[in-house]
Amino acid sequence: MMTTSQSVAFDAEKENMVLDAVERFVDREIKPVAQRLEHADEWPADIVAGMREMGLFGCIIREEYGGLGLSASTYAKVVERIARVWMSVSGIINSHLIMAACVQRNGTEAQRQHFLPRFASGELRGGLALTEPDCGTDLQAVRTVARRDGDHYVINGTKTWISNGIHGQVFAVLVKTDPEAQPRHRGMSLFICEKGPGFTSTKKLEKLGYKGIDSAELVFDNFRVPAANLVGGVEGQGFKHVMGGLELGRINVAARGVGVARACLEESVAYAQLRRTFGKPICEHQAIQLKLADMATRAEAARLLVEQAARAYDAGQRCDMEAGMAKLFASEAAVENSMEALRIHGAYGYSKEMNVERYYRDAPLLCIGEGTNELQRLIISAQLVERSPI
């Protein structure tokens, strides 16, 4: 049996190996094509194949089920490094791994044995289907319904803005199994649904940024799913399962924010040393120096908040407040840094030939995805009160 110090050393060595491999993959396979695929809004098939070969679709899935068994802390660093070059790619694995986390944490052993190895290998890829046309932040308002019919449930409804909706094959779908239940969350259940008759992707949704990854509408028309695919095997637990999964999702979004914030900073520092005005590099102008200092501070503070949230997740602690803080701050840091980077670059920052305009378009999504920042503030304040009784 390894001692604690040996275990820590092993984990650090494993993390370094994974991060080195990811860095090489990003530099070799993503950086040279990111701009072209982004502006073409083209799904990155070769990049996805490479991530599958590296095992990244099994990042947080335990080794016993064929995954890499990474901690949330290491996974967040993987996401940051990918997002620093092209944020869309990190989204392809995020939604997929929230689905996997729901099964790993809450599924029956039969469900884990059946789905997790196929998720980890990338044989089955997909994501989380929560949002509906009239339901975003208020998940308890979902209208998609599943009714029991023998050994199956029959699902009817529509989901929208679903990541991986077109190229994914399987989704964790939040439904109402008891639409009359009060409170509403007691009537919600989560199913693992593979595409088939009655389950289709109807259209790809066009977006301002976050291109390449497909965001789609999913339609369920008398879709029959085996009762064995009800996560945990008990109705009425779906809302709880999803909330646990979203803790990991918010850590992912926060890590993306760190990646974008750092990319904006790094490109701005480099450009400020090259661009000259009034006879000297603009990095010697106080106005630019103040911007760079604030950008660096935001990026570093965001990174530390992500580390704190990831450690809490790894320890099995409730971490909705920590994940909410990280997501709130890191996403806002990405937005602010992208604006400052655009200003530092001037007209060049507004050009499609530069990465900065992409960061400026991508960053606002982080304030919306996995729960708006307004919702994060409500979660944080509620937890502050709950954790500090008088």
pLDDT in tens, 249-275: 999 999 999 999 999 999 999 999 999
| Contact (CB, 8 A) for 60 and 97 | yes
Q: Does domain 240-385 have CATH number 3.30.1120.80?
A: no
Identify the burial level of 326 via C-beta atoms within 10 angstroms of its C-beta, where 0-12 means exposed, 13-18 middle and 19 or more buried.
Answer: buried
Residue range 323-337, pLDDT digits in tens: 999 999 999 999 999
pLDDT above 90: residue 137:
no
85 is written with which tokens?
């070059």
pLDDT above 80: residue 9:
no
Q: Out of 109, 267, 370, 386, which one is annotated catalytic?
A: 370
Location of structure tokens 């789905």:
115
**CATH 1.20.140.10-classified regions of the chain:** 240-385
Residue 1: which pLDDT band, with cuts at 50, 70 and 90? low
How much is the mean pLDDT over the chain?
95
310 is written with which tokens?
């990831």
pLDDT above 80: residue 2:
no
Instruction: Over range 193-201, report the average pLDDT.
Output: 97
Residues of the chain above pLDDT 70, percent: 97
pLDDT above 50: residue 6:
no
- DSSP character at residue 283: G
Residues of the chain above pLDDT 90, percent: 91
Residue range 359-388, pLDDT digits in tens: 999 999 999 989 999 999 999 999 999 999
Instruction: Over range 112-133, report the average pLDDT.
Output: 96
Superfamily in which the 12-125 domain is placed by CATH: Acyl-CoA dehydrogenase/oxidase, N-terminal domain (1.10.540.10)
**CATH 2.40.110.10-classified regions of the chain:** 127-236
70 is written with which tokens?
């990474």
Residue 11: which pLDDT band, with cuts at 50, 70 and 90? confident
How many Cβ atoms from other residues are within 10 Å of residue 20's Cβ?
10
Residue range 77-102, pLDDT digits in tens: 999 999 999 999 999 999 999 999 99
Residue 136: which pLDDT band, with cuts at 50, 70 and 90? confident
**Higher per-residue pLDDT: 9 or 35:** 35
- CATH architecture for the domain at 127-236: Beta Barrel (2.40)
Instruction: Over range 236-240, report the average pLDDT.
Output: 95
User: Looking at residue 103, what is its pLDDT?
Assistant: 97
28 is written with which tokens?
């070799």
Measured torsion, CA atoms of residues 116, 237, 90, 125, in degrees rounded to the nearest 10: 40
Contacts of 339 (CB under 8 A, 6+ apart): 360
pLDDT above 90: residue 142:
yes
pLDDT above 70: residue 5:
no
Whether 13 is catalytic is no
Residue range 275-311, pLDDT digits in tens: 999 999 999 999 999 999 999 999 999 999 999 999 9
pLDDT above 90: residue 50:
yes
